[in-house]
Chains A and B, each alone.
Chain A
């Protein structure tokens, strides 16, 4: 039985490129990875939004209305439903004049029990040090 920890670091804004959404969908795939592994072995995924990447967390996204696409906001909520650890850099939110009130924090409507954590960058650095592999998007 072993665990491999992955850290998904999202630095780019949403919708300009596919990267942020791919980061989240790949992180979500950690929930079904066991089919390829021996019993008891797991891969975990933490997601951190930093820099321009914090803009992905804006709430009330209209991607479905405007583009007929699942919003990045919905993907973040799915991550919460699957109990992924989702971190958002507080300093970068401040830089954009955003607060916790402006971003997706929970997914209670989906039944998620965990919430997005707005944390100082030092906490994100700590997560990055604790994981086995980092993937930058």
Chain B
């Protein structure tokens, strides 16, 4: 089985790219692959806990927690999060925060890197 590193820079609300990234991560894990998910820029919105589910907006806290419980390794860019006022105390449990070199390190032994830019 392989390792997939996904980097996503799109926001939770206002774009479907994060929805796609999380869905892809889940599908890859179902097939037995290891997945690292990095969010940076507006993508760090994904890390915030207490997201409320509405039918008209993307809601990923639920599916993300399920995937994290199954071993999804998900990390937010700490500087990007802090710049947006997303502090550690507002971060979902299990969601890591690191500097950008974490993403590059994840690519080191990745079989595939899928980089999904921001808006």
Contacts and interface: CB of A to CB of B under 8 A. Distances in A.
Interface of A: 2, 4, 6, 17-19, 22, 25-26, 28-30, 32-33, 35-37, 41, 43, 45, 132-137
Contacts of A136: 115, 117
B117 A30 contact: no
Contact of B40 (A6, A22, A32, A41): A22
Contacts of B101: 29-30, 32-33, 35-36
SS class, residues of chain A in contact with chain B: mixed
A19 B104 contact: no
A33 B100 CA distance: 9
A17 to B, nearest CB: 6
A6 B104 contact: yes
Contacts of A33: 101, 104-105, 108
Interface of B: 7, 9, 40-42, 80, 99-105, 107-110, 112-113, 115, 117-119
A9 to B, nearest CB: 10
Contact of B100 (A25, A133, A134): A25
B108 A135 contact: no
Contacts of A19: 9, 41, 117-118
A131 to B, nearest CB: 10
Contact of B107 (A4, A17, A28, A32): A4
Given A17-B119, A19-B118, A133 B113 contact: yes
B41 A22 contact: yes
Contact of B118 (A17, A25, A32, A43): A17
